A and B are shown apart, each in its own frame.
Chain A
Amino acid sequence: MLTELFFTFAKIGLFTFGGGYAMIAQIKETVVEQKRWLDEEELMQIITVAESTPGPIAINMATYVGYKKKGLAGSAMATLGVVLPSLVILYVISLFLDAFLQNRYVAYAFTGIKCGVAFLILRAGIDLLKKLEKRVVPRITFGIVFVLMIVFDLLSISFSSIWFILMGGVLGIVLYAVFSPKKEVES
């Protein structure tokens, strides 16, 4: 069972591109439909937990599924499995990337890739913005942090965005848990 967990998640790590949500589909196919380790409902529950905790979703899912199947050892094996392909592949790439970039055509390709990365980040951000709850506080929080991030960067003021995350979290606790606990929890 342990080796099966390891190889199953190694396969998921090796064959899913683009991280995050692409992995959810792959995990669903393998873990629910092929292996029948979990039913659909359990998987949904795990996805909810994985999405509402920090960290890469693939790691969260591997740890959770591994634990459900085989406890601590299972979670360690599944996580190791999902991480190992990345670790090996990117280690090898790290040895060659700089030399690779010396090539003129590769450098040209990366001029384009940088545009592609900007595009992907903005696309992800806009998607999330559309899904953001349409209320006053989240919108103002978004606006303030967005403007401050841009201003700080343009003026080269260094300020860790972890502080913004913590302040947002504390504001959330105060607003949604301390002051209006009943009504807000529903939504």
Chain B
Amino acid sequence: MIYLLLFLEFFKIGLFCFGGAFGMIPLIEETVVKHGWLTESEIFNLIGVCESTPGPIAVNTATYVGSVMGGPLGSIAATLGVVLPSFLIILLIAAVLKNLTDNKYFKGFMRGVKPVVVALILSTGGLLLLKTIGYAGLQAFTVDWVSVVILVLLVGIYVGITRLWKKKLSAVKIILLSAGLGVAVSMVAESVSI
């Protein structure tokens, strides 16, 4: 029963996603790849789309994965799953356990979780970087020069803009910039190789 499975898996993601939007990316990636719902490459394409569309990233990914796997009902099941834990926990806090966030055990738990979440986010980002530039397995590494050039330009432009002009770059702008760089560098690479 795909609807129930989608609901339960996304419920788990909603329940264990700490540390904001980026905290759930490791969990989503793991779950979706484990079930073979999307490939690793598809999931990061999707995250790119979700970063540049409005709304919470967790809801966006849930809707997309749910729809691909189970049509309109699937998207509702997955979205309901990812939203429900937050909804119930906040209701509980607002209505009954007003002081839950002051509870020392709760605080201890949250404090212990923090370094774990940071490690999950950084390792996911690091592995994605490694795979983007061509890592495909312990024996297979062919450098993807297009991506290397895109990354170098992206970091260069980012550092330039944030340091020289003291401007902040939002996630949407970074995605748009990297999309532009993707087209430009790929076309140059193509014309050079022909």
Q: List 24 A-B contacts (CB under 8 A).
A: A13-B55, A16-B55, A17-B52, A22-B171, A52-B110, A53-B89, A59-B83, A82-B55, A90-B59, A112-B181, A113-B48, A114-B128, A115-B182, A117-B51, A121-B128, A126-B122, A141-B115, A153-B127, A161-B27, A165-B16, A165-B117, A173-B109, A177-B104, A177-B109
Tell me which residues across on chain B come within 8 A of A44, comparing CB atoms. Answer: none
Contact B116 A115 (CB under 8 A): no
B85 within 8 A of A: yes
Q: How large is the interface on A (under 10, 10 to 19, 20 to 34, 35 or more residues)?
A: 35 or more
The smallest C-beta distance from B30 to any residue of chain A, in angstroms, reads 6
Check if A120 sits within 8 Å of B54, measured CB to CB: no
B21 and A56 form a contact (CB under 8 A): yes
B92's closest neighbor in chain A, by CB?
Answer: A53
Chain B residues with a Cβ closer than 8 Å to the other chain, count: 104
A contacts with B: majority SS:
helix
A146-187 interface code vs B (CB 8 A; 1 in, 0 out): 100110011100101110110111111111111001001100
Decide if A172 touches B126 in the complex (CB within 8 Å): no
- In the complex, the answer to whether A128 meets B172 with C-beta atoms within 8 Å is no
- Asked if B56 contacts A20 (CB within 8 A), the reply is yes
Task: Decide if B172 touches A101 in the complex (CB within 8 Å).
Answer: no
Which residue, of A64, A94, A139, A141, has the highest number of chain B Cβ atoms within 10 A?
A: A94
Given known A-B contacts A13-B55, A67-B94, A83-B79, A19 and B182 have beta carbons under 8 A apart: no
A-B contact count (CB 8 A): 380
Please tell me if the beta carbons of B146 and A173 are within 8 angstroms of each other in the complex.
Answer: no
Q: With both chains docked as a complex, state the minimum distance between the C-beta of B99 and any C-beta of chain A, in angstroms.
A: 11
B160 interface residue per 8 A CB criterion: no
- Of B14, B15, B44, B182, the most chain A CB neighbours within 10 A belong to B182
Determine the chain A residues whose CB is within 8 A of the CB of B111 once the complex forms: 172, 176
B53 part of interface (Cβ distance < 8 Å):
yes
B57 close to A19 (CB less than 8 A): yes
